[in-house]
Amino acid sequence: MRLYGSGLTLSYDQRVVATELDVTIPDGSFTVIIGPNACGKSTTLRALARMLKPRAGAVHLDGSVITSLPSKEVARRLGLLPQTSIVPDGITVADLVGRGRYPHQRLMRQWSKQDEAAVAFAMEATGVTDLAERCVDELSGGQRQRVWLAMALAQETSILLLDEPTTFLDIAHQIEVLDLCADLHEQGRTLVAVLHDLNQACRYATHLIVMREGRIVAEGDPVEIVTAELVQEVFDLRCEIIQDPQSGTPMIIPESRRRTRTPA
């Protein structure tokens, strides 16, 4: 496996989020990490991306401890779409996407035709080519998210990590972003995403990691692991599982609150 963590203890200052955590990302998968709020999903992704140094244990990338690798080397192998991103004032879409090429720059080699081609491909793949000269801070939330994804794609990494890529988007833009992620996966990339919506996770993931209180309670193909019992254990939600009529994947139907209807 190219990316995995073993024996991880993850913490922020004195607050420990996870201990003795083992997490493996299958090569070529679209892995989705789900779980209730504050269960350690984003913290685990930050550790895999080398944004958070484990208190104990280690994350490994291509056979090396990730913290031992130079930053640019990691950025050439692994791309990250963080949960929140700060847009530089006045920057255009083309310039922001172009920043994804920074890991490939050298002291004696600046912008090249390869860089130009990578940026053009990333913008076309994410549907933002027509926005190239627009300022990013003028765009809608859905457009901005596609621009940030284009920047990550321009890095030309084979592994892409996405921390809650659908946050603050309406349902149409959520599906648009997830469909794009599925396309990138089908083109051969390994994707890891943190999502909140369990039905979306089941529909798009080829590998699901279910977390609760800093530990993994289940993982595998959503069709094989998602049950009403699991949902109740992890989310404390009584539900029924049916087959999604569009994708054939598990669909969670929460148990409704019973209502007493007043006769007309």
pLDDT in tens, 171-217: 988 898 899 899 989 989 999 999 999 999 999 999 999 999 999 99
At residue 261, the pLDDT reads 60
**Who contacts 224 (Cβ-Cβ below 8 Å, separation ≥6)?**
none
- Residue 264, domain member (yes or no): no
Domain tally, the chain: 1
pLDDT at 153 over 70: yes
At residue 145, the pLDDT reads 84
- Residue 19, domain member (yes or no): yes
- Residue 33, domain member (yes or no): yes
- Residue 92, domain member (yes or no): yes
- Residue 259, domain member (yes or no): no
How many alpha carbons lie under 13 Å from residue 144 in its C-beta half-sphere?
Answer: 19
CATH (domain of 74)? 3.40.50.300
Q: Residues 214-235: pLDDT tens digits?
A: 999 999 999 999 999 999 999 9
- Residue 261, domain member (yes or no): no
- Residue 263, domain member (yes or no): no
Q: In terms of residue numbers, what domain contains 22?
A: 3-254
**Who contacts 231 (Cβ-Cβ below 8 Å, separation ≥6)?**
198, 237, 239, 241, 252
pLDDT at 11 over 60: yes
- Its pTM stands at 0.88
DSSP letter string, 14-41: TEEEEEEEEEEE-TT-EEEEE-STTSSH
- Residue 175, domain member (yes or no): yes
pLDDT at 260 over 60: no
At residue 257, the pLDDT reads 73
